Amino acid sequence: MLKNFFKKSKKNSPDDENILIIALLIHAAKIDENYTDSEKKIIINTIIQLKKVDSIEAEKLLKFAEEKEKESNQIIGFTKEIKKYSYEFRLKIIEIIWKIVYSDGTSDSYESSLIRRICGLLYISDKDNGIIKTKIQNQLKKI
């Protein structure tokens, strides 16, 4: 089964694209060296929305993406596929990353730096990134 999975990834199947997106989210969650259940929950919910799958299938995809993230040391490979999507979709990915970052209530310099790099690679403007960041911060204040 794993052999088939990796064969598909070489053909750039839609599943592989989704795995790369999920791996980027995992990378963002791990950047502060504290990969929490809260962050995993946000990623699982994203997988369910992205792939239209149940939670069991989402868990499987999460495991595949965690392995993909461990194997890679660069975010360029993760963002390469995302750039093919619409600007709105890329903004949504940045929003999800901000949710992951703020799931522990704060943003450290490593997390902020990572998001700036991701925005640059995805051609997201500083203005739009700032708007999204403020939106997530305001949502947290309401909770």
Q: pLDDT > 90: what percent of the chain? A: 64
Q: Which domains does the chain have, with CATH numbers?
A: 14-142 (1.10.3680.10)
State the pTM of this model. 0.84
- At 143 the pLDDT is 66
Q: Which residue has the higher pLDDT, 120 or 5?
A: 120
pLDDT at 83 over 50: yes
What secondary structure does DSSP assign to 117-143, as a single string? Answer: HHHHHTT--HHHHHHHHHHHHHHHHH-
Q: Quote the crossing angle between the two packed helices 37-51 and 87-101, to the nearest 10°.
A: 160
